[in-house]
Homo-oligomer: A and B are copies of this chain.
């Protein structure tokens, strides 16, 4: 049976595509690493790497092998962490990721609460879009992410936290939706301002506005909700704002009127996602409750 050492060397080799540098990363000499790779190839009876002067290429089988090797290494690393912490995820380091449309509004309240409740926990933060978060979660660079559900991924588990309803932000005095209730169908593509591509909030908003003609949307999107509200404040259009953002601004935004939607109010579901192989559910549950409590607190 292969050793974890061989898997580690092989992973490093696949990343560096260079025996010498891979060996350096593994803190061994090049022949030591070469020998282990050779041994792996002998054990598997398969050529994993194409050696050539200009670096190294993996064979197709090698690509498959490294993907599986990384899976095994991640599972093993997760096991070690879990057991070392007596199954308590909330001690030691937690690498937490969050969407840019969530992090700035939830974390300022959450992090102090977490520090109070789990004093032995050290949180490393990362803010990225859904796709990046999920990739990093999968390959073990993150432990837990806060994002919008649903997430369909076989290696991940999720836990819904709360629904975050949308408001329609219109310029103050614009006269739109004078009844104070917005209707998704009445939003016009020419007016709609959105985040740039890749933000899931953009897709969610478009989902709500099924009938909007995508071809008539403005080409360039904003990169943050703050920018977006500035645009709205200056009369350049309307946009969707999640309640989470609105709350963090104290319930109102200068020169912008926030119009609630008609029932059923469109919303995004905020939730946690993590690798199946990482933590005990009890820990995620504890954290989930803290987050929910944390959000409820803001209602005061």
Contacts and interface: CB of A to CB of B under 8 A. Distances in A.
B154 A84 contact: no
Contacts of A294: none
A32 to B, nearest CB: 16
A13 to B, nearest CB: 15
Quickly give the copy total for this chain: 2
A87 B64 contact: yes
A83 to B, nearest CB: 5
A84 to B, nearest CB: 5
Interface stretch (A66-74, A97-105, A131-139): A66-74
Contact of A277 (B4, B45, B71): B71
Given A61-B87, A71-B75, A75-B75, A44 B80 contact: yes
A78 to B, nearest CB: 8
A28 to B, nearest CB: 14
A157 B68 CA distance: 16
A117 interface: no
A186 interface: no
Interface in A211-236: none
Nearest to A276: B154
Contact of A46 (B43, B69, B86, B280): B86
Contacts of A68: 75, 78-79, 82-83, 277
Contacts of A46: 83-84, 86
Interface string A27-62: 000000000000000011110000000000000010
Given A64-B82, A65-B83, A84-B44, A76 B1 contact: yes
Contact of A3 (B5, B75, B77, B154): B5
A87 B69 CA distance: 14
A286 interface: no
Nearest to A75: B72
Nearest to A156: B154
Contacts of A61: 83, 86-87
Interchain residue pairs A-B with the least CB separation, the first 9: A68-B79, A65-B83, A44-B83, A72-B75, A72-B76, A44-B84, A1-B4, A3-B4, A4-B4
Given A68-B79, A69-B79, 16 more contacts: A1-B8, A1-B80, A2-B76, A2-B80, A44-B84, A61-B83, A64-B87, A65-B79, A68-B78, A68-B82, A68-B277, A72-B75, A72-B76, A75-B75, A154-B154, A154-B276
15 contacts: A1-B77, A2-B79, A2-B80, A3-B3, A44-B80, A44-B83, A46-B83, A46-B84, A61-B87, A64-B87, A71-B277, A72-B79, A75-B75, A154-B157, A154-B276
